[in-house]
């Protein structure tokens, strides 16, 4: 058996360590089971560094869900050292450590970190705030589910846009038709002026068809 396993085996069930990866909901659920199922009179929490804020949230919720709990706080520091193979100290860092004890019975010794149980009126106010926050979270989850339901609507809109693309294609056909008229029917109107320009006119005359005949063979015979 490894040393870590031996330490875990000696750890009491009411000794709860909160870390950065601890989920508050799971910690609260376990803490309530320790108080109710195992009938233990107190809970001992500890957290280091950035996980202290998470521990405070857990304790506040527990004091609301389980009325009549007394609280004792104790702040210390923990040193983390880095040594080499010769046990020479290379680096040392100090981190704050918070220890909180929640107990059903009022403690005999009350230090600076002592907090009495919540007043019932205050507890109900906090409980109301927590319930409203929980309802808001559930609504947000429902909205996320609604967003998932909007998917078919989005597809319908895409289909509509595709239909519009088809409508855009129709004017192209119309344009093609107009091009066809330009190629077939329009040349009659356009061909006449082009013929007038090319054949019947000279650079100095406005009437082009008749002068061409006069310039041609009839005038030469005279």
User: What is the residue extent of each domain of the chain?
Assistant: 12-117, 119-149
Backbone angles phi, psi at 185, to 5 degrees: -80, -35
Dist. CA 95–CA 48, nearest whole Å: 7
Our CA angle for 181, 195, 187, nearest 5°, is: 5
Q: Quote the pLDDT of residue 1.
A: 32
Q: What is the pLDDT of residue 45?
A: 97
> Are the beta carbons of 97 and 75 closer than 8 angstroms?
yes
Sequence-ordered list of residues with C-beta below 8 angstroms from that of 172, at least 6 positions apart, any chain: none
- Residue 128: is it exposed, middle or buried by C-beta count within 10 angstroms (0-12/13-18/19+)? exposed
Under a CB-based contact definition with an 8 Å cutoff, are residues 72 and 103 in contact? yes
Q: Is the pLDDT of residue 218 over 90?
A: no
CA distance between the termini of the chain: 136
13 contacts 34 by C-beta, under 8 angstroms: yes
Which residues are paired to 71 by β-bridges? 102, 115
Q: Read off the pLDDT of residues 135-172 as tens digits, 9 standing for 90 and up.
A: 888 888 887 765 554 544 545 445 444 444 544 545 55
Structure tokens at 137: 């979270």
The pTM of the full predicted model, rounded to 2 decimals, is 0.57
pLDDT at 106 over 50: yes
- Looking at every residue in the chain, the average pLDDT score rounds to 74
For 176-195, b/e burial (b = at least 16 CB within 10 A) is eeeeeeeeeeeeeeeeeeee
DSSP 8-state code for residue 13: T
- Look at the domain 12-117 and name its fold: Translation Initiation Factor IF3 (3.30.110)
Residue 11 pLDDT grade (very low, low, confident, very high; cuts 50, 70, 90): confident
- Are 46 and 99 a contacting pair, CB within 8 Å? yes
Evaluate if residue 79 carries a pLDDT over 60: yes
């Amino acid at each position: 058996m490894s040393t870590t396993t031996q330490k875990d085996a000696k750890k009491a069930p009411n000794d709860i360590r909160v870390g950065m990866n601890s989920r508050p909901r799971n910690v609260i659920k376990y803490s309530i089971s320790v108080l109710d199922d195992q009938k233990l009179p107190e809970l001992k929490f500890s957290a280091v560094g950035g996980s202290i804020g998470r521990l405070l949230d857990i304790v506040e919720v527990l004091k609301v869900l389980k009325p009549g709990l007394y609280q004792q706080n104790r702040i210390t520091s923990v040193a983390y050292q880095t040594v080499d193979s010769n046990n020479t100290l290379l680096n040392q860092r100090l981190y704050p450590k918070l220890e909180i004890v929640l107990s059903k019975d009022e403690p005999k010794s009350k230090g600076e970190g002592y907090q009495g149980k919540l007043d019932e009126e205050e507890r109900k106010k906090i409980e109301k705030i927590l319930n409203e926050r929980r309802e808001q979270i559930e609504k947000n989850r429902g909205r996320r589910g609604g967003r998932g339901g909007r998917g078919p609507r989005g597809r319908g809109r895409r289909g509509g846009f595709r239909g519009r693309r088809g409508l855009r294609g129709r004017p192209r056909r119309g344009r093609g038709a107009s091009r066809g008229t330009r190629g077939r029917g329009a040349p009659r109107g356009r061909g006449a002026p082009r013929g007038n320009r090319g054949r019947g006119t000279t650079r100095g005359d406005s009437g082009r068809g008749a002068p061409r005949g006069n310039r041609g063979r009839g005038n030469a015979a005279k």
